[in-house]
Amino acid sequence: MSKKLKISLAVVFVALLSFSTGAYAATKYYLNFNDKTTKTDVRIINKKAYVPLNDISKLFGGKVSYNSKKHTYYVKAKDYNPANSQVKTFNVKATGTSGPMKITISKVTLHPSFKKDSYSSPVRAVVMDVAVENTSKQTVEWYPAQGALNLNTKEQVEFSHPDSDLVEGTFNGQVIKKGKVIYEVKSSLSSIKNLKWSISQPFDNDLNGLGPDIVVPITLIK
Cα dist. 36→5, 32, 57, 62, 90 in Å?
Answer: 53, 5, 16, 18, 41
pLDDT in tens, the chain (222 residues): 554 434 343 433 334 444 444 444 457 777 777 777 777 777 888 878 777 877 777 767 777 788 786 678 777 666 555 555 589 999 999 999 999 999 999 999 999 999 888 888 899 999 999 999 999 999 999 999 999 999 999 999 999 999 999 999 999 999 999 999 999 999 999 999 999 999 999 999 999 999 999 999 999 987
Q: Specify the CATH number for the domain of residue 117.
A: 2.60.40.4170
For residue 142, give the nearest of 216, 215, 218, 205 by alpha carbon: 205
* Count of structural domains, the chain: 2
Q: Domain range spanning residue 210?
A: 82-219
147/52 same-domain check: no
126/144 same-domain check: yes
112/158 same-domain check: yes
**57: phi then psi, degrees, rounded to nearest 5:** -65, -40
Evaluate whether 216 touches 96 at the Cβ level (below 8 Å): yes
| pTM exceeding 0.75 | no
Measured in residues, the chain has a length of 222
In-domain check, residue 74:
yes
How far is 137 from 94, CA to CA, in rounded Å?
A: 24
How far is 108 from 129, CA to CA, in rounded Å?
A: 6
119/66 same-domain check: no
**83: phi then psi, degrees, rounded to nearest 5:** -65, -30
CA 39 to chain centre: 32
In-domain check, residue 21:
no
**177: phi then psi, degrees, rounded to nearest 5:** -115, 130
Chosen domain end from 78, 110, 137? 78
CA 108 to chain centre: 14
